[in-house]
């Protein structure tokens, strides 16, 4: 098999213990004919040096080929192309190998996933990509198994269990990261009861090389696993609720830095969300919401930078990072460019871990700014500590940034990314003030309203609660500008915004691709691939595809032809709340790889979905049901079921207000016994009993009756009906 010269050079460099080596030993930032990892190059830049597609001819871009991925859930991966072959992953950890010029299928791989793990994945069956070397394609499956597949055949060379134990709510959705002779992967689960870590496995054998835990364990269990954790323990209170897990899961954004032979890990949020519940008595809670640099060979920590001390807001640091070199104060620095959930854009020194720039990008109520001398934010607990009452938290838990990859153009020193400027209401109901540990259950311990339309959302709440919220200073922020969701071009050294372009709605964000010729590519939920001028943001070409696009596009060259490819399909955090402007609201959510070239044709557009059906008449209410039982069922449904089953139009999981007679008859078997486990519906008999199942069923029958009467009177709704409920959704 022929090996990409860049891949071979990269592997040799990674194995040479190149600590302190000048970055000039590496190829310049930017991908060429090949796109050899989801980020495109060693820097994760999502930048291409291919020059065939330019601002002058971008209007000639058209359809080259498509590939049906055979699924209809969520697509967040960026394909990899090496030597004319495209490799990529789909939901649950499926892998596809295709001829990159024609789309011809060469092989596919479907892992045998324990579908029970759908219950422990806060944000759908997402998978964000593969890693690849000369022999293997590496992918993580949702249930935590890391696979090494033969590049030529897709056969399993080895598999390794990346979960250190399976009695906690872990899941795996991120791309593994190749770092010389090891491949590194993390996990999700901070909304459940997980303790975060990353694990390195030998690329040839699958043997564990090292593991780094991102937060301490209960000191009653003995010494910590590393000196770094002994130091971190001082930042957790003596009353810490270690039984709840703590969070800190590294579910994406692990980046190998070959210049300093280190693996930089973005660490997730705290679990439960409120620091007052997680670590009563205070503390920064290291290494939550931090960048942590680990020695590639040993896994020992070299430095850390905590981007959100005392995290109570789901402000993960797990958003994709980009490596670069910049001049500050007259000296060149190897840096990380990083914009996490918390609303700031950071430039961080890759040797010391010190921030060189911290620029506020959206409205922030948790901090008023950043002190570069201390390396800490200026915290504003008076505006963000919701332990004693509701607060309007900016940015919202969906994040100013999230998993959507940014792109960095080193020629223009511009950073292109999606930004969401929005706040959410967060408070702690009395019932959640002393959270109970529910094994592998949601333990966020907060009531959060994920919508910018807070004025409408407050309707129906107690009047005194409404008055309390409207008296908050940030209420005027809500009134003046409920949200903005934008593509932004930012000066990478100063954080100054050069231009912006609005998305259609607050759920609308996407990954980026930049090119040397001065183009920026991105998708949107309406199903459009948009090509912009990098200098001005002007739209040069829009291609309608009929399928929602969230993932980052990429580009490659085969046989002298430059192609642009993107994976398309709606899903992820908030998957069951499908916005009306999304293609998934009007058309089937057929997951596709879409590929374009100059002088291509028209994209095949899926046919429209049929009209939304009216709610059918419900069966008779269950025997012995009382109003109190229905109310209890509503609480149980909100806490356990609503994260997937929104019962809203066009949701990708069943609307339980439309259950047929057979589903009603088998309700307990489905919920408690796992009758539909193979279809992705987990069993709940470890947390719910027969009386709980009956209460939930009674609640759904009651809700179906109300919906049926409404539809008979007014017709079925053609838009989402907002319902509040208690939610733990973090929109990862």
- The residues that are catalytic are 314
Q: What angle do CA 259, 294, 442 make, to 5 degrees?
A: 130
Q: What is the dihedral of CA 719, 421, 568, 718, to 10 degrees?
A: 0
Task: Spell out a b/e string for 538-547, using b for 16 or more CB atoms within 10 Å of the CB, else e.
Answer: eebbebebbb
Tell me the Ramachandran region of residue 382: left when phi exceeds 0, alpha when psi lies from -120 to 50, beta otherwise: alpha
Task: Output the furthest CA–CA distance in the chain (Å, rounded).
Answer: 78
Closest CA to 192 of 397, 435, 398, 443: 443
Is residue 168 within 8 A of residue 440, CB to CB? The reply is yes
Q: How far is CA 348 from CA 19, 120, 359, 414, 454, in A?
A: 18, 33, 12, 16, 35
Is residue 98 within 8 A of residue 556, CB to CB? The reply is no
Question: Residue 373: how many CB atoms within 10 A of its CB?
Answer: 6
Q: Could you tell me the strand order of the sheet in which 262-266 lies?
A: 254-257, 262-266, 290-295, 301-306
Dihedral of CA 560/561/564/569: which sign? negative
- What is the distance between the alpha carbons of residues 651 and 655, in angstroms, rounded to a whole number? 7
Q: Is 159 exposed, middle or buried (0-12, 13-18, 19+ CB in 10 A)?
A: middle
Instruction: Provide the residue count of the chain.
Output: 732
What are the backbone angles phi and psi of residue 222, rounded to the nearest 5°?
Answer: 120, -170
Full 3-state SS string of 352-377: CCCEEEEEECCCCCCEEEEECCCCEE
Q: Is 272 helix (H, G, I), strand (E, B) or coil?
A: coil
Q: What is the per-residue DSSP string for 304-357?
A: EEESSTT--S---S-S--EEEEEEETTEEEEEEEE--TTSEEEEEETTT--EEE
Q: What is the per-residue DSSP string for 664-687?
A: HHTHHHHHHH-TTGGGT----TTT
What are the backbone angles phi and psi of residue 458, rounded to the nearest 5°?
Answer: -75, -20
Dihedral of CA 213/219/224/227: which sign? positive
Helix axes 690-714, 627-640, angle to 10 degrees: 100
Is residue 378 within 8 A of residue 368, CB to CB? The reply is yes
Looking at the DSSP bridge assignments, the partners of residue 345 are 359
- What is the distance between the alpha carbons of residues 589 and 610, in angstroms, rounded to a whole number? 13
What are the backbone angles phi and psi of residue 358, rounded to the nearest 5°?
Answer: -140, 100
Closest CA to 343 of 299, 313, 382, 305: 313
Q: Extract the tokens encoding 292.
A: 């942590």
- What is the distance between the alpha carbons of residues 397 and 312, in angstroms, rounded to a whole number? 10
Which residues are CB-contacts of 112 (< 8 A; sequence separation ≥ 6)? none
What radius of gyration, in Å, describes the C-alpha atoms of the chain? Answer: 24
């Amino acid at each position: 098999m022929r090996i990409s010269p860049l891949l071979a050079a990269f592997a040799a460099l990674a194995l040479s213990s190149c600590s302190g080596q000048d970055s000039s030993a590496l190829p310049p930032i930017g991908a060429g004919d090949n796109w050899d990892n989801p980020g495109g190059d060693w820097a994760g830049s999502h930048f291409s040096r291919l020059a065939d597609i330019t601002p002058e001819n971008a209007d000639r871009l058209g359809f080259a080929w498509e590939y049906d991925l055979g699924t209809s859930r969520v697509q967040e991966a960026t394909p990899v192309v090496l030597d004319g072959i495209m490799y990529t992953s789909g939901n649950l950890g499926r892998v596809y190998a295709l001829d990159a010029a024609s789309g011809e299928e060469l092989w596919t791989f479907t892992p045998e996933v324990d579908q029970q793990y759908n219950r422990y994945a806060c944000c759908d069956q997402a998978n964000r990509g593969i890693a690849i070397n000369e022999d293997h394609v590496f992918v993580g499956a949702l249930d935590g198994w890391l696979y090494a597949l033969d590049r030529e055949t897709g056969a399993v060379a080895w598999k390794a269990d990346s979960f250190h134990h399976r009695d906690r709510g872990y899941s795996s959705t991120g791309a593994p990261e190749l770092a010389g002779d090891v491949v590194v992967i993390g996990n999700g689960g901070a909304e459940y009861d997980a303790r975060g870590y990353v694990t390195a496995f030998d690329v040839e054998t699958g043997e564990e090389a090292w593991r780094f835990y991102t937060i301490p364990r209960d000191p009653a269990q003995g010494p910590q696993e590393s000196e770094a954790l002994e130091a971190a323990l001082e930042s957790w209170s003596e009353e810490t609720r270690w039984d709840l897990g703590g969070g800190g899961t590294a579910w994406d954004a692990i980046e190998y830095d070959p210049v300093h032979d280190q693996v930089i890990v973005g660490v997730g949020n705290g679990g439960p969300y409120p620091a007052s519940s997680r670590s009563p008595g205070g503390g920064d809670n290291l290494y939550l919401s931090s960048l942590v640099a680990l020695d590639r060979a040993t896994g020992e920590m070299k430095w850390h930078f905590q981007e959100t001390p005392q995290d109570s807001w789901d402000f993960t640091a797990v958003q994709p990072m980009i490596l670069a070199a910049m001049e500050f104060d007259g000296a060149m620095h190897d840096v990380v460019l990083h914009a996490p959930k918390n609303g700031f854009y950071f430039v961080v020194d890759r040797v010391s871990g010190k921030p060189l720039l911290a620029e506020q990008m959206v409205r922030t109520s948790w901090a008023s700014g950043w002190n570069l001398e201390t390396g800490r934010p200026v915290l504003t607990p008076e505006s963000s500590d919701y332990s004693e009452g509701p607060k309007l938290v900016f940015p919202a838990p969906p994040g100013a940034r999230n998993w959507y990859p940014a792109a960095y153009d080193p020629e223009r020193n511009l950073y292109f990314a999606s930004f969401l400027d929005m706040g959410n209401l967060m408070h702690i109901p009395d019932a959640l003030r002393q959270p109970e540990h529910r094994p592998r259950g949601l333990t966020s311990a907060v009531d959060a309203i994920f919508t910018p339309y807070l004025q409408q959302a407050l309707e129906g709440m107690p009047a005194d609660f409404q008055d309390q919220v409207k008296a908050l200073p940030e209420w005027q922020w809500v009134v003046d500008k409920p949200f903005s969701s934008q593509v932004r071009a930012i000066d990478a050294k100063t954080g100054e915004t050069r231009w912006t372009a609005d998305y259609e709605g607050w759920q609308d964000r996407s990954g980026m691709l930049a090119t040397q010729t001065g183009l920026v590519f991105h998708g949107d939920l309406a199903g459009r691939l948009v090509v912009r001028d990098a200098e001005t943001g002007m739209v040069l070409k829009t291609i309608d595809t009929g399928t929602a696009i969230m993932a980052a596009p990429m580009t490659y060259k085969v046989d002298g032809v430059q192609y642009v490819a993107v994976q398309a399909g709606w899903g992820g955090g908030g998957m069951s709340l499908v916005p009306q402007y999304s293609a998934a609201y009007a058309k089937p959510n057929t997951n596709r790889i879409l590929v374009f070239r100059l002088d291509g044709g028209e994209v095949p557009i899926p046919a429209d979905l049929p009209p939304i059906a009216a709610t059918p008449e419900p069966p008779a209410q269950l025997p012995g049901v009382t109003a109190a039982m229905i109310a209890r069922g509503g609480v149980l449904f909100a806490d356990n079921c609503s994260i997937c089953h929104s019962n809203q139009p066009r949701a990708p999981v069943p609307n339980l207000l439309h259950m047929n007679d057979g589903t009603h008859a088998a309700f307990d078997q489905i919920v408690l016994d796992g009758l539909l486990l193979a279809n992705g519906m987990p069993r709940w008999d470890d947390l719910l009993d027969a009386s709980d199942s009956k209460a939930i069923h009674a609640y759904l029958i009651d809700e179906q009756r109300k919906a049926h009467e409404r539809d008979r009177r007014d017709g079925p709704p053609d838009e989402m009906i907002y319902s509040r409920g208690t939610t733990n959704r973090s929109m990862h």
